[in-house]
Structure 1
Amino acid sequence: MLSRELGGTAIETFWAGTSYLLANAVLLPFLGAVSDVFGRQSVLMFSLTMFAAGTIVCCTAKNFTQLLSGRTIQGVGGGGLFILSFIITTDIIPLRQRPKYQSLLMAAFALGTILGPLTGGLVAEHAQWQWLFYVNFPFCAVGFLVIPFAFRRFGLKIQLSFADSLRQIDWIGGMLFVAGASSFLMGISWGGVQYSWGSFKTWLPILLGVLSIAAFLIYERFVPTRPLIRLSIFDNRSGGLVFLLTLFFGFELYTHLYYIPFYLSSVKALRPSITGVYIMALSFIMIPLAVVVGAAITRRGTYLWAIRLGFAALIFENGLLLYLDQDKNLVAHFFIIMMVAVGHGFLMVSLNIATQAIADARDVVFAVSMFTFIRQFGICIGVGVGGTVFNNVMLRALENKGFPTDQAHAVAENSEAFVGVLTAMDDGPEKDGLTSAYVDGFRGIWYLLLSLAAVSLALSFLVKHHGIDKKLESGHELREKKGAESTVAKV
């Protein structure tokens, strides 16, 4: 729809989603660190303003250059809104009580992610594409009204002047990190989609990104008095393993949410709105389960059981996806796709709480920022790696089925754009062969995710338990007014 209305190519359409994800990911740790200096409310309002401004740019876009600019600005704002929501809970809620509150936040963001395909499908079929962005404005308006009211008694314990606050920020570390992460993720996103993996346009950004991140880590270890990221959060082996599991979780989550709708539209020829209904059904398991898991972690004081159950469930669920093909009925598809939500429901909260439990109390904000970044990092890697696996497996399947090499390459390299052609084809051997090749491509994805879940489950048994009965430490406070005085609230 976007490519037709704005005259964009398949690559530009791909970047309409990817530009948001990249901007969302790379600025997460920086915005979290800045909020420690300028205060949560200031950075939250900045993020909301950026999201609203990006939405306006998208709504008024006349071409893809404007649209991608708006999506990037939206990504900056969306990342800030996401990370600040969780950081604020670490300021005012003790760790033991935090899982049940953070599970509600996770559920809210998951609901928005899952409702997106349904909304997008309805817009694609029945309205102008601008309504994809118009729907954001009421939420932005509520945010602008609510944030000042909600933060009227919450702020920094020690408020510095604007000039002193600027000097407190690790600008050099921030530039190294943002540049390195952006370059690396750009290369990963380009690989196998826009350029081949062997092209210097793919490997050079990845190499420069790695070198920049290495320089950032060395700089952070030895130079700044107030670093962007406290590397002590990686000193504990269990902490490092949990961050690695978070990377795999992000990869699994995005790949499921991206490729299941693609599967339904290509293999089962479902309309966008019906595909959205299937994905929305995930919320009826994922969201309540995440809330229940959060409450159970608070009650039991442990989280490792949820991590292990989550990855075990993903192994089973990816195995079920391998069972699906063009001949299975839609009822079987519906229940199997709903089962995918179980593993993610267990992992959404448990991994986040694990990072906070393992980190020192003074480092919790940095652990939350890094957890969110690494999860988004995994999502972005899923874009490139998932696309490469799908295209290569599908290409091999087409060639094995006797399709000419030129046709096989054309279909595999433009598999999403070809869905409309496939759906319009008359039933026959050619359509059956093409559909079967799509199924093989998706099975390549499911095998990859199954293997990743199996590795993750094995690694989860190496993580040691850390208690969640920790003292609350924060440079921010929630005050209650009592007469003419103001005291720190007990939470």
Structure 2
Amino acid sequence: MSTLDPGFHSETPSTAPSVVQNSHTTSTLNLHMDEKPSVTGTVEKRTTAIRPIHGWKWVVSCISIYTTALLYGLDTTIAADVQPDIVKSLGQIEKLTWVGAGFPLGSVAIILPLGYAYGLFELKTLYIASIILFEAGSALCGGAPTMDALIVGRVIAGAGGAGMYLGVLNYLGVFTTLRERNFYNSLVGLVWGLGCILGPLVGGGFAVSSATWRWSFYINLVLAAVMAPFLILYLPSHSPRPKENVTSKLRNMDWVGIVLIAAVYTTYTMALTFGGAQWAWDNYRFIVMIVFFGISLICFIMSQYFNILTTKEYQLFPGHFLRSRTLILIFIGTSACSCTLFIGAYYIPLFFQFARSDSAIMAAVRLLPFICLSITFIMLNGAFLPKFGYYMPWYLLAGVFMTAGGACMYTIDSDTSPSRIYGYSILLAIGCGAANQSGYSIAAAKVKPEEISAAIGFVNVAQIGSIVISLTIAGTVFQNLAYENLRSALVEYGFTESELRSAVAGTQSAVFQRGTEEVKQLAVKAIIKSMDSVFILTIAAGAVTVVAAAFMRREKLFMQTVAGG
């Protein structure tokens, strides 16, 4: 792949905005050219622009679209602290992993097709449609009569959420100037991070109130209803290809790639979610699902390599990026940081609920040091990385802290003090925050201007895809080891398999409700012991990041800030 010189600053013209997911997109901004010295001392022409929306209409438009970014962050973590209440209400502990993994699964399965669609179809229509899809999924989650319905709702909401987030990035890419775009993009990351912080608190607050956990999802409907008039009346329209009809646009989409990438993530998640819980590891259903995963992955790779029923211009995945050492390494680093962030967000509150019998809201409060430090370091990285340009030290710092924090979390037991957990979580937070978002800016600086949007989508797949992979693996490890540990520890007490599995979901099971104090202590120790093994993933993530950093170039990039989700 042809990459830019490390000293080159790619200021994309508005005909290929850095956050719009297709290089053919045209902007509605009024353009003029000026001349400025480049970083090499020569005179280069740069495109500047005049934003067509001003005053209160622009303020209202920004508030409206940033609210949808907040909702996307909120739903990313809102299930972290309400899982015991969901299982108490709906049962089926063996499917609990889907509650956390379903949302990012819906996002990652659709992120590439949606990113591509934003470069073809009318911006406002696709954005509003994504919001409607997100709200439909949220409504289904809130009113879910069964665990299966809740899971379907989470997947639907995840798909709509990805569309909302990409819509925000595209609006800012089309309707802001180059000079102000970095500022508005940084606000996207800030608002998304705020949503992630509020997610466990909002979920925990509803779980312990008379509203119940269902309002953790219904709240999305209320916020969307408030913003709907502004979104409909004041958001401007924009068509990236106004002369191309809808039939032609649909025909040009890489439908083979779209179907296969969705199959890859779905079969993988189903295999690891049901494996060991509902399906024995040697059960034919688990084996069949793994085989289908392998076949889907191979077929997707082949379809992209040989451009089956598509062309190189329209292929879904930018496979030529895999020829770049830097892009591969930041893909790995981004995946590792995202893995650590979400394992911490889901399993630190779970520790306090078991080990300290905390309520959902109290467990969420105890998560604040981890979330706040993560967001702080994401913001520090966003501020200083473009300023100084050296990216390798950030990944090295991230890897060291994630490894140290993961190793400390591996030593916890039921008697570990809260202060030590806070300290360990801070180490994890510094690590995952230090490089979680940097891949977006690095990728934008390492590719040709017309490939920036594809590079951002490439990193987005790493970030969202790793959430699915890490939560699925962590859920499988935790549920299976916890059940085995409980069965060994309580073999003399005659609890049934369903009672032991329900104990893994929370303290409302028969084990904790009817068991003696001795039984409760044995159960907590067994469950916390299995939780230790989950944090092995964060140790591995940190070690992989250190290795990736060691192979990165010691170069300085002149880059612009771009936001990810």
* TM-score bracket for the superposition, by shorter chain length: 0.7 to 0.9
Alignment of structure 1 residues 52-71 onto 2, 5 Å: 52-71=135-154
State the one-letter code of the partner of 1:192: G
Q: TM-score, normalised by structure 1?
A: 0.84
Out of 82-91 and 401-410, give the one that drifted further. 401-410
2:437 counterpart of 1:349: yes
2:415 counterpart of 1:327: yes
Q: Does the aligned pair in 2 maintain the 1:95–1:469 contact within 8 Å?
A: no
Match of 1:277 in 2: 365
Decide whether aligned partners of structure 1 residues 387 and 52 sit closer, same or farther in structure 2, where only a CA change above 3 A counts. Answer: closer
Match of 1:140 in 2: 224
2:392 counterpart of 1:304: yes
| C-alpha distance in 1 between matches for 2:479 and 2:92 | 18
Partner residue of 1:33 out of 88, 92, 116: 116
- What's the CA shift for 1:397? 5.0
Which consecutive residues of structure 2, in runs of 5 or more, have no partner in the other structure? 1-84
Partner residue of 1:436 out of 519, 525, 531: 525
Match of 1:78 in 2: 161
Decide whether aligned partners of structure 1 residues 330 and 176 sit closer, same or farther in structure 2, where only a CA change above 3 A counts. Answer: closer
| C-alpha distance in 1 between matches for 2:128 and 2:554 | 37
Q: Does the aligned pair in 2 maintain the 1:250–1:375 contact within 8 Å?
A: yes
Alignment of structure 1 residues 72-471 onto 2, 5 Å: 72-86=155-169, 102-129=185-212, 130-141=214-225, 143-147=227-231, 152=236, 155-156=239-240, 159-223=243-307, 224-225=310-311, 226-391=314-479, 393-394=481-482, 397=485, 403-404=491-492, 413-417=501-505, 419-421=507-509, 423-424=512-513, 428-464=517-553, 468-469=557-558
State the one-letter code of the partner of 1:445: V
| C-alpha distance in 1 between matches for 2:149 and 2:269 | 21
- What's the CA shift for 1:118? 1.6
State the one-letter code of the partner of 1:177: I
Q: Does the aligned pair in 2 maintain the 1:3–1:10 contact within 8 Å?
A: yes
- What's the CA shift for 1:33? 0.7
Q: Does the aligned pair in 1 maintain the 2:94–2:274 contact within 8 Å?
A: no
- What's the CA shift for 1:371? 2.0
State the one-letter code of the partner of 2:265: A
Match of 1:484 in 2: none
Decide whether aligned partners of structure 1 residues 293 and 54 sit closer, same or farther in structure 2, where only a CA change above 3 A counts. Answer: same
| C-alpha distance in 2 between matches for 1:377 and 1:232 | 19
| C-alpha distance in 1 between matches for 2:180 and 2:470 | 32
Partner residue of 2:93 out of 10, 13, 31: 10
RMSD: 3.3
Structure in which a larger fraction of residues adopt helix: 1
State the one-letter code of the partner of 2:103: Y
Decide whether aligned partners of structure 1 residues 95 and 387 sit closer, same or farther in structure 2, where only a CA change above 3 A counts. Answer: farther
Decide whether aligned partners of structure 1 residues 450 and 158 sit closer, same or farther in structure 2, where only a CA change above 3 A counts. Answer: same
- What's the CA shift for 1:271? 1.0
Partner residue of 1:22 out of 80, 98, 105: 105
Which consecutive residues of structure 1, in runs of 5 or more, have no partner in the other structure? 473-491
Q: Does the aligned pair in 1 maintain the 2:268–2:290 contact within 8 Å?
A: yes
- What's the CA shift for 1:81? 1.8
Q: Show CA shifts across 1:422-477 (max 9, x none).
A: 554677544333322223212222233213311221122212256644799xxxxx
Match of 2:49 in 1: none
Q: Tell me, what secondary structure is at the counterpart of 1:27?
A: helix
- What's the CA shift for 1:277? 0.8
Decide whether aligned partners of structure 1 residues 311 and 30 sit closer, same or farther in structure 2, where only a CA change above 3 A counts. Answer: same
Q: Does the aligned pair in 2 maintain the 1:29–1:366 contact within 8 Å?
A: no
State the one-letter code of the partner of 2:469: I
Q: Tell me, what secondary structure is at the counterpart of 1:192?
A: coil
Q: Percent same amino acid at aligned positions?
A: 21
- What's the CA shift for 1:270? 0.9
Match of 1:488 in 2: none
Out of 421-430 and 11-20, give the one that drifted further. 421-430
| C-alpha distance in 2 between matches for 1:470 and 1:158 | 31
Q: TM-score, normalised by structure 2?
A: 0.74
Q: Tell me, what secondary structure is at the counterpart of 2:356?
A: coil
Q: Tell me, what secondary structure is at the counterpart of 1:156?
A: coil
Q: Does the aligned pair in 1 maintain the 2:122–2:240 contact within 8 Å?
A: yes
- What's the CA shift for 1:77? 0.4
- What's the CA shift for 1:354? 2.7
Q: Tell me, what secondary structure is at the counterpart of 1:282?
A: helix
| C-alpha distance in 2 between matches for 1:465 and 1:204 | 45
| C-alpha distance in 1 between matches for 2:173 and 2:301 | 25
Q: Does the aligned pair in 1 maintain the 2:370–2:422 contact within 8 Å?
A: no
- What's the CA shift for 1:44? 1.9
How many residues align structurally?
471
Decide whether aligned partners of structure 1 residues 277 and 358 sit closer, same or farther in structure 2, where only a CA change above 3 A counts. Answer: same
- What's the CA shift for 1:4? 4.3
Decide whether aligned partners of structure 1 residues 311 and 163 sit closer, same or farther in structure 2, where only a CA change above 3 A counts. Answer: same
Out of 426-435 and 132-141, give the one that drifted further. 426-435
- What's the CA shift for 1:13? 4.6
Q: Tell me, what secondary structure is at the counterpart of 1:126?
A: coil
Out of 451-460 and 133-142, give the one that drifted further. 133-142
Decide whether aligned partners of structure 1 residues 275 and 240 sit closer, same or farther in structure 2, where only a CA change above 3 A counts. Answer: same
| C-alpha distance in 2 between matches for 1:74 and 1:231 | 28
Decide whether aligned partners of structure 1 residues 79 and 302 sit closer, same or farther in structure 2, where only a CA change above 3 A counts. Answer: same
Q: Show CA shifts across 1:238-274 (max 9, x none).
A: 2122222233233222211111111111122111110
State the one-letter code of the partner of 2:467: I
- What's the CA shift for 1:30? 0.7
State the one-letter code of the partner of 2:525: S
| C-alpha distance in 2 between matches for 1:181 and 1:284 | 30
